[in-house]
Structure 1
Amino acid sequence: MRTKLGALAVTTAALAGGVLTQTDQAEASTPSVVVDSLSVQAAANGQSNATAAVHSARTIKLQALTVAVRSADGANYDFPGATAPTLGTRSSSYASGSRAFPAGTYTYYVAYKFHDRWHSVSPVKSFTSGTGTGGGSTPTPTATPKPTASTPAGTATPTAPSTPTAPSTPPSTSTPTSSAPSTSAAPVGIPGAWHQVFGDEFNGTALDGSKWNSNWFGCSGCVTKPPNSAEASAYSPSQVSVGGGSLHLNLIQKPTTVGGKTYPYVSGLVTSNGKAQFTYGAFEARIYAPSSGSQMANWPSFWADGQNWPTDGELDVLEGLGGSACYHFHSTAGGPGGCASGNYSGGWHTFGAEWKQGSVTYYYDGKQVGQITSGITSAPMYLILNNAINPSHSGTNVAPADMAVDYVRVWQH
């Protein structure tokens, strides 16, 4: 059972004496960066580059500034040559490096990194490359959309790029409650007609900040307490990464102090709280869980939670408990559930659940493993994935341990 903690005060993490500690320091305010001009030009050998002029309302040192580019399907084609300028109230010029673009239509905009967080800045412009497939065509600018307000677009840092990766989405004036589907696949083994309303295939090089937060109710970049007091790990964004087509939540043994309590481990967690939540539907993730022999190690979890626990409910699609894969539904009526036998010595497994009025049915690797029909709530829930550890689960705890996630998808009728 997970006992939800209250939202933490805005804090920042500091490294002291090899132990991560939490300090009571407010996150600095985001600078106001203004784009005075922005354009894309043809360069030599079929390449193109971008130029921009920007200024700030006050003098500020940025970690990075670049021109971000996205294809029609959301793929990253950022211009190279990100810089770390000091901006002032006078306009400063920026010129990117050159690159080629396959045929297609692209959007582009200025993005900057400040206090380890990426921000997108309007306007969002677009261009269309020519018909050649090798990227040797000249971009043709098209109409500029109406400018929108700047919106933070992510908190994660790329794992190993030569230049910073800018936010995954252009500036927007609203926070999405669901995201466009990344695939048309149906839920494994769950019958019915479905349309996908949320998905992340984790095919990029950084966590998509438009969909996920990388800690539990904390400020950007903060180390936070766990959701459950039985856990032995704090959660840090540094333990969350995306690479090789998967999300990685990495548990390591490292004494970590948060809120006056020291945890022997630090691990990774992501939530869609404030970015995507759902009432009813099919929820599914393909996960490579840590293992100990044929048992599932540690306390890896894929679950959904309401804003007011336990009144709004908690849907546990997967919890690795005592070496087994288990499911539950928590509410004011209790927390019924069960476990499914299986060999978890290694390999990918699909964990899914269909939540509808009055019932939740659970599917592991496409086969129904259980159903709960008591205490089912109807309030919206957000998604959580975390690689937890519980000292009482003797014999099945291992560290370091990586919980990998191939995809997360949500469908509704």
Structure 2
Amino acid sequence: MNKLLPTLLIALLIVTCCLSCKVLPSKIENGYSYIQKDGRAEKEWKLVWFDDFNATSLDTTKWTKIPANTADWGKHMSSNPLCYELKDGQLLLKGIKNPDTLTDKRPFLTGGIYSKGKFAFQYGKIEIRAKLGCAQGAWPAMWMLAERNKYGKYPRNGEIDIMEHLNFDKIIYQTTHSYYTLELKQKDKPPHSGTTKLDPNQFNIFGLQWYPDKLIFTLNGKETFRYPRISGVDPSQWPYDQPFYILIDQQLGGSWVGKVNPNNLPVQMEVDWVKVYQ
């Protein structure tokens, strides 16, 4: 009887693994890219990845602090601890006046995180619950970029802006960018951007439902804007057939949002949770 026990345990483990594989909505490539299985468009969403920020420090198996870069949105990005705080189950991403311009000459510092190289997904639903901070020059954003360069350098792989908010606005922008919209200037065939009203002083759930033939943007579970894949146009219209990673950042300044008023700082975005379904 004892000799049979290890064999039975192994058999049970194999059966359990097989059953688990059958119910998974995705296959995982490279250990972190969740590719939704075919034929799930009409099936119930299943949670495949999340962070509720209930830890005492940022989960670095899921996120990396976004480094500074030369883009309008990224010139103030910083890993400075003053730009980040985990408090009461929320991640606070802050835009602040730089306290040490001798070491770093930039006037402002901002906090942001991305899942690049740690989590990406192709098709599914993402929802982010957060409260936005308002300030002149504040530009909080939740967006996605391609994990790999399937079609070449930016903007050929596309960009999905789940939410962007400017200054003290009571609207958000939800947008797609690509070679088709930026280089070929095809911004209306189909329309590539929409706006929707919100109360920035309240927590809201910003979302995207991503299918092989359309992007459906949502706010608090309701559809707000849709970007479809269309036929008969340049193929660059739809680069959204590959894994994308997540970016969440409290940006400051830039040609779109305008100059920063230092008297309005600090400003912060309070992120409650991030959930991805397939």
TM-score (norm 1): 0.47
Which residue pairs with 2:175 in the alignment?
328
Of the three residues 283, 290, 303, the one matched with 2:143 is: 303
Summarize the alignment of residues 185-204 of structure 1 with structure 2, pairs less than 5 Å apart: 193-204=44-55
Q: Report whether the alignment pairs 1:340 with 2:196.
A: yes
Q: CA RMSD in A?
A: 2.9
Alpha-carbon distance, 1:203 to partner: 0.7
2:140 and 2:178 map into 1 onto residues whose CA distance is 21
Asked whether the 8 Å contact 1:302–1:317 carries over to 2, the reply is yes
Residue 231 of structure 1, CA deviation: 5.2
For residues 256 and 315 of structure 1, the distance between their equivalents in structure 2, rounded to whole angstroms, comes to 34
Tell me how far 1:358 sits from its aligned partner.
2.3
Q: Which residue of the partner structure matches residue 317 of structure 1?
A: 162
Residue identity opposite 1:236 in structure 2: S
User: Mean alpha-carbon deviation: is it higher for 279-288 or for 233-242?
Assistant: 233-242
Q: How many residues align?
A: 215
Looking at structure 2, the residues matched to 316 and 389 of structure 1 have their Cα atoms a distance apart, in angstroms, of 17
Q: How far does residue 198 in structure 1 lie from its aligned partner after superposition?
A: 0.9
Alignment partners' CA distance in 1, 2:113 and 2:198: 26
Q: Which has the higher helix share?
A: 2
**In the TM superposition, what whole-angstrom CA distance separates every residue of 1:250-308 from its partner, at most 9, and x where no partner exists?**
11011777xxx94321011111111111111101100111025xxx9711111110133
CA distance in 1, matches of 2:271, 2:91: 5
Q: Which has the higher contact order (CA 8 A, sep 6+)?
A: 2
Q: Distance in 1 between matches of 2:181 and 2:100?
A: 32
Moved over 6 A (4+): none
2:108 alignment counterpart: 265
In the alignment, what sits opposite 1:247?
91
C-alpha spacing 1:243/1:281, structure 2 compared with 1 (3 Å): same
> Is contact 2:66–2:77 with CA below 8 Å preserved after alignment?
no
Question: Take 2:111 and 2:248, find their aligned partners in 1: how far apart are those partners?
Answer: 9
Match of 2:126 among 275, 280, 283: 283
Cα distance in 2 for partners of 1:384, 1:233 equals 15
Cross-structure match for 2:6:
none
Relative to structure 1, is the Cα distance of residues 256 and 356 closer, same or farther in structure 2, using a 3 angstrom cutoff?
farther
Q: Secondary structure at the match of 1:236?
A: coil
CA separation in 2, counterparts of 1:358 and 1:175?
25
SS of 1:334's equivalent? Answer: helix
Matched residues in 1 for 2:30 and 2:162: separation?
A: 26
Aligned to 1:349: 204
Q: 1:389 aligns with which of 247, 252, 255?
A: 252
Distance 1:338 1:278, change over 3 A: same
User: Of the candidates 270, 274, 278, which is equivalent to residue 408 of structure 1?
Assistant: 274
Instruction: Pick closer, same or farther for the CA change 1:349–1:357 going to 2, 3 Å.
Output: same
- 1:206–1:243 Cα contact (<8 Å) kept: no
Alignment of 1:121-200 (within 5 A): 176-177=31-32, 193-200=44-51
Q: Which residue of 2 aligns with 1:380?
A: 243
Q: Give structure 1 stretches of 5+ with no counterpart.
A: 1-173, 180-190, 217-223
Quick check: 1:214–1:237 contact (8 Å CA) kept in 2? no
The code of the aligned residue for 2:157 comes to: D
Match of 2:214 in 1: 359
Amino acid at match of 2:60: G
Structure 2 letter corresponding to 1:240: Y
**What percent identity do the matched residue pairs reach?**
27
Whether the 8 Å CA contact 1:297–1:320 is kept in 2: the answer is no
The one-letter amino acid paired with 1:358 is D
**Shift of residue 325 of structure 1?**
0.9
Task: Summarize the Cα distance change of 1:178–1:409 in structure 2 as closer, same or farther, 3 Å threshold.
Answer: farther
Shift of 1:376: 3.0
Q: C-alpha distance in 1, partners of 2:194/2:177? A: 12
Per the TM alignment, residue 394 of structure 1 is displaced from its structure 2 partner at its CA by: 4.9
- Write the distance in 2 (CA, Å) between the matches of 1:289 and 1:301: 9
SS at match of 1:234: coil
Structure 2 unmatched ranges of 5 or more: 1-28, 35-41, 183-191, 230-236
